[in-house]
Amino acid sequence: MPLTDEIESERRSLLGLCYRLLGTVADAEDAVQETYVRWLRLSDEERTAIRAPGAWLTRVAGRVCLDMLGSARARRERYVGEWLPEPVPDG
C-alpha cells in the first residue's frame, strides 16, 4: 500500500524534527522510515480511526527518536575514542 499524499507531505517536517532530536541526517532518515513502517503496519480500520495523521506521525517519530537516543547513549558509554560533531547540511 503506497503512502498517501497527505502522509508523504509530512516527511519534511518529520525529518526536521528527527534531525533536531538525533543530530545526524542518517539517523533522522532512519527514524522517519521507521515511522512510516509503523504507519503502514496499521490496519485500514486503525488508520481511519486516527483523526490527525500528521500529529500521530509526529508523536511516533518522537518516540522512535527517543528509543534511538537511548540505544545511542548505551553505545557512547562503551566508545573510547574522540567524538567529533557532524557538520550541518546546507539546504
For 54-78, write each residue's pLDDT tens digit.
Answer: 999 999 999 999 999 888 665 666 6
- Residue 77: the pLDDT is 62
The model's pTM is: 0.74
Q: Is residue 21 part of a domain?
A: yes
Q: Is residue 90 part of a domain?
A: no
How many distinct structural domains can be found in the chain? 1
Q: Is residue 4 part of a domain?
A: no
Q: Is residue 91 part of a domain?
A: no
Q: Is residue 24 part of a domain?
A: yes
Cβ-defined contacts of 83-88 (< 8 Å, 24+): 85/23, 86/23, 86/24, 86/25
Q: Is residue 5 part of a domain?
A: no
Q: Is residue 89 part of a domain?
A: no
Q: Which domain holds residue 62?
A: 13-78
- The model's pLDDT over 24-43, given as tens digits with 9 standing for 90+, comes to 999 999 999 999 999 999 99
